Amino acid sequence: MIRIANGQGFWGDSLEAPVELVRRGPLDYLTLDYLAEVTMSILQKQRARDPRTGYARDFVDMIARVLPDLKERRVRVIANAGGVNPTACCEAVLWQLGVEHPPSPGLKPPSGTLNSAKPLQPLALEYRSRPIRSKQC
């Protein structure tokens, strides 16, 4: 049996729900849905003002808050918190965890993002197959 729970339904939803789901388990996968059309337009405007943004920033703090529980319970997280800048989101999570330096202001979108003519490619952070110390985004 695979146990899946959804901890958020939109950007700005309560951060307590995913924390409680992870901590009270049992759970195999935690999904977090941040994006809708309005959210995407807000994220794009943010990124236009600052290339280090364009993602759901509260996701970063939530992951840092529950990481020990995620690791202990072997819960996998599936989220679309990267918005229009998944690389910056990944780097921010790694930095928050003490793995990477703060994101650089000159970040460029990876090929396959909304600013490219190519189809979107998901950013997969699979911590079970490589150590958390990985710097790959």
In a domain, 35, yes or no: yes
In a domain, 126, yes or no: no
Cβ neighbours of residue 84 closer than 8 Å, sequence gap 6 or more: 40, 43, 44, 47, 54, 55, 109, 113, 114, 115
In a domain, 89, yes or no: yes
Contact 59, 32 (CB under 8 A): yes
In a domain, 91, yes or no: yes
The boundaries of the domain holding residue 9 are 4-96
pLDDT classification of 47: cutoffs 50, 70, 90: very high
Contact 10, 36 (CB under 8 A): yes
In a domain, 9, yes or no: yes
In a domain, 75, yes or no: yes
pTM, two decimal places: 0.68
List, for residues 21-32, the tens digit of each pLDDT value.
999 989 999 999
In a domain, 108, yes or no: no
List, for residues 81-101, the tens digit of each pLDDT value.
999 999 889 888 888 777 755
Tell me how far CA of residue 94 lies from CA of 1, 41, 89, 120, in angstroms. Answer: 31, 25, 9, 22
Q: What is the DSSP letter of 117?
A: S
Number of domains in the chain: 1
In a domain, 119, yes or no: no
